[in-house]
Amino acid sequence: MRHRGAQFWLWTDTRLPLHIHEEVLGDGVQVEVRARVSHEGVTQVFIGVYDGHGILMGEEFHDRGRDVPCCAALEWGAQRAKCAIALLPLQGNATTGR
């Protein structure tokens, strides 16, 4: 179970249908990308990154603009998540100083 942060709850709107891309990376990090089209016709993307236990590492959401297909928005979000993960400090080194 994922521990959702404030960004997820701000973005959520159960009235809008959405498309979801999920993957688990080799180190157990979970990537979740959600795309939807708002009532105004704007494609919106939510990106969530969670550790192997579902603990929040980072969440954000973006408007991708009109006429952006959800599949393209999902691809963009997955790539953005992987770039963000690459910038995170190494888990063991950051917390223990080893």
CA distances from 77 to 35, 81, 93, 96 (A): 9, 6, 27, 31
pLDDT average, residue stretch 5-25 = 94
Kindly report, residue by residue over 30-56, the tens digit of the pLDDT: 999 999 999 999 999 999 999 999 999
Q: According to DSSP H, which parts of the chain are helical?
A: 6-11, 70-87, 91-96
The residue ranges of every structural domain in the chain are 6-96
Phi, psi of 37 (to 5 degrees): -110, 125
- What would the pLDDT profile of 53-74 be if each residue is shown by its tens digit? 999 999 999 999 999 999 999 9
Q: d(Cα 42, Cα 49) in Å, to the nearest integer?
A: 23
